[in-house]
Amino acid sequence: MFVEKYIKEPFKYAMSDWKKIFVGGVFGLMYMLPSQVFDAMLRANNHVQNMESSASFDYSILLGLLGVFALIIFLSIIFGSLQYGYYMKLAKNTVESYDTQLPEWEGWYDLFKKGIMFYIGSLLLALIVFLPFIIIASIIGYGIYLIGIPLLLIIYFFAVLGAYLLIALLYMFYFYLASVNFANVGFKGFFEFKKVIELMSLKYLVLVILMGIFVMTMTFIASLPGMVMKFIGVMAHNTPILIISAIITSILMSFAGFFASVVLYRSISTYYKEKMQEKGYL
């Protein structure tokens, strides 16, 4: 029952219309390709070392790099917002009607607006969770540094690292369920801590872990051909190979990433709908 409902069905759902998956993959490609090619060009030309070894600093290079970086950020916001707006649309459709077909790519303004709100909510949630930890850890760490005992500082470093990983793990468990809650109740859905935590269970934790393994596996497989080519290009100092590897990585990662995200949000949304019914919220 678990595998059928939360694993097999989301896969069937994601494969219900490959044209819609293709559109989402293209949107991902629109911002991933410039980023990957930009990275490949930096590696090929080794700008950083050239700047450090040059007697006169060429500010035009810096301005050019900043311009390309700004373009990548802009494209990421535009097309990433459309993607996340779509994820939230399918999450809402799953909870409300449990459609067996992927939603249409329509209502572009609503998709974009929902995606922007998703980004803002995610950022605020991350600040609420991580900023106090960072501030407190930094203050304590500075105090230990002033004491001047290296061994104590090393122990503290690993303690902070362990605490951070634990908080990041708990944040991940909360985040996906809160995202689906956001898709259904609006912006406040990110911050309904009591409600979201009540919806969690051992089954949910297992589900997130399995989905995490699935997403990481797909990402690794999709990135493997590009990684091999990039390694060859770096070893051979061959710019065309580096650029080709960037293109291949961008194409495979864009489509695999979108498909995996659709499966993930369908699975989490199915669980959310079930628990909401159990708790009497629906």
| Three-class DSSP labels, 148-197 | CCHHHHHHHHHHHHHHHHHHHHHHHHHHHHHHHHHHHHCHHHHHCHHHHH
- Under DSSP, the state recorded for 188 is G
> What is the predicted pLDDT for the residue at 54?
47
Cα torsion for 61, 65, 66, 67, to the nearest 10°? 100
Q: Is the pLDDT of residue 200 over 80?
A: yes
φ and ψ of 261, to 5 deg: -70, -35
**For a pLDDT cut of 70, what percent of the chain falls above it?**
90
> What is the predicted pLDDT for the residue at 35?
76
**For residues 107-132, average pLDDT:** 95
Least Cα distance to 62 among 74, 72, 80, 50 occurs for 50
> What is the predicted pLDDT for the residue at 59?
56
Which tokens sit at 82? Answer: 């459309």
Average pLDDT for the chain: 88
**For a pLDDT cut of 90, what percent of the chain falls above it?**
65
> What is the predicted pLDDT for the residue at 48?
44
> What is the predicted pLDDT for the residue at 47?
44
**For residues 148-172, average pLDDT:** 92
What is the model's pTM? 0.88
Burial bucket for residue 90 (CB in 10 Å: 0-12, 13-18, 19+): buried
Least Cα distance to 108 among 27, 222, 202 occurs for 27
**Helix and strand tally (H, E) in the chain?**
10, 0
Task: Tell whether the torsion through CA atoms of 171, 174, 176 and 182 is positive or negative.
Answer: negative
Rounded Cα gap, residues 216 and 120, in angstroms: 25
DSSP H helical ranges for 46-107: 47-53, 59-96
Q: Is the pLDDT of residue 104 over 90?
A: yes
Least Cα distance to 183 among 93, 81, 277, 258 occurs for 93
Question: pLDDT of 165-177, one tens digit each?
Answer: 999 999 999 999 9
Rounded Cα gap, residues 22 and 24, in angstroms: 5
Q: Is the pLDDT of residue 261 over 80?
A: yes
Rounded Cα gap, residues 37 and 59, in angstroms: 22
Question: pLDDT of 231-254, one tens digit each?
Answer: 887 787 777 887 888 888 889 999
Q: Is the pLDDT of residue 150 over 60?
A: yes
Please list, in sequence order, all residues whose beta carbon lies within 8 angstroms of the beta carbon of residue 58, skipping any fewer than 6 positions away.
51
Question: pLDDT of 47-73, one tens digit each?
Answer: 445 544 444 545 565 566 677 777 778
> What is the predicted pLDDT for the residue at 246?
83
pLDDT band at residue 265 under the 50/70/90 scheme = very high
**For residues 215-224, average pLDDT:** 91
CA distances from 89 to 81, 137, 180, 181 (A): 12, 38, 10, 12
pLDDT band at residue 178 under the 50/70/90 scheme = very high
